[in-house]
Amino acid sequence: MDGDADLYDEPELYDLAFSYRDVSAEVDVVEAWYERRRGPRPARVLELAAGPAAHAIEFGHRGAKVTALDSSAAMRTYAEQRAKEQGVPLETVDADMVRFRIPRRRFDLAMVMLDSASHILDLDAMVSHLRSVGAHLVPGGLYLMEMSHPADFLAGSPKTQQRWRLTRGARHVDVRFTSPLGAFDPATQVWDCRISVKVTERGRTRVVRDHMALRRWTAAEMEAAARLAGNMRLVERHGSFDVDGPFGADDPGEWRMISVLERTAP
């Protein structure tokens, strides 16, 4: 059976499709970046557009009080179930990441992973997003943003993998993420990207197809948005989850744009 669907409405399938990530190793690196700027591990952590909240749950295993923000009820429920199964207390918040308010909460660390920030499509919305994040960080708190590398749309040689295959038990998935050139608007830098997930289980196959509009942000644009927000400043940028990894275009190991921003004093 084939069909168009909202992959975000199938949390278990979404989680499996992106389970190639080594979440524990990535959190090791995030902790190292945090320690370099602020010292010991963060006590309170917020994951935005969290989906299955894998990174928040991993921080919970390490002793942090963790909160996951997402506008999808299905994803929040799934994240809560996953956290409960793993013995991690997880608070979830129903909100849009562009503008949100969590009363009486201030965090040492916030993060948005897996290019979820690229769902923010214009500068005004990005500035609003950064202001909202900054308002929920303690002074000196850090915000980590993982986004696609600009080489994916500027250099003609994408750094991000577009096809992969995964297996969990009897379920096999083949994932294809495509960004057709004709679906890119150079005026807005918004790309209508397509994803298909072929699921094979016990001899039966179905294909779930979805599409999403993603803004392709450059490093200079993100720095400008942080300045306009007024309460955030860029302190580090890396091209991969490597503690001292550079950000550029020459190293084949650089495949992401990971910005570390700091909450400035009020």
List, for residues 36-66, the tens digit of each pLDDT value. 999 999 999 999 999 999 999 999 999 999 9
Residue 3: its pLDDT value, please? 57
pLDDT reported for residue 50: 98
Compute the half-sphere exposure of residue 248: CA atoms within 13 Å on the CB side of its CA.
Answer: 6
Distance in angstroms (rounded) separating the CA atoms of residues 205 and 56: 32
Give percent of the chain with pLDDT exceeding 70.
95
CA atoms within 13 A on the CB side of 103: 0
Per the model's pLDDT, the better-predicted residue between 201 and 58 turns out to be 58
Contact 19, 13 (CB under 8 A): no
Measure the CA–CA gap between 55 and 75, rounded to whole angstroms: 14
By the 8 A CB rule, do 215 and 190 touch?
yes
Other CB atoms within a 10 A radius of the CB of residue 104 amount to 4
pLDDT value for 179? 86
pLDDT at 242 over 90: yes
Give the per-residue pLDDT at 162: 84
Burial class (CB in 10 A: 0-12, 13-18, 19+), 135: middle
Contacts of 148 (CB under 8 A, 6+ apart): 115, 118, 160, 214, 216, 256, 257
Helices (H), the chain: 11-17, 23-38, 54-61, 73-85, 123-135, 151-154, 219-229
Q: What are phi and psi of 126, to 5 degrees?
A: -65, -40
Is pLDDT at 159 greater than 70 in this prediction? no
Q: Is the pLDDT of residue 158 over 70?
A: no
- Residue 157: pLDDT band with limits 50, 70, 90: low
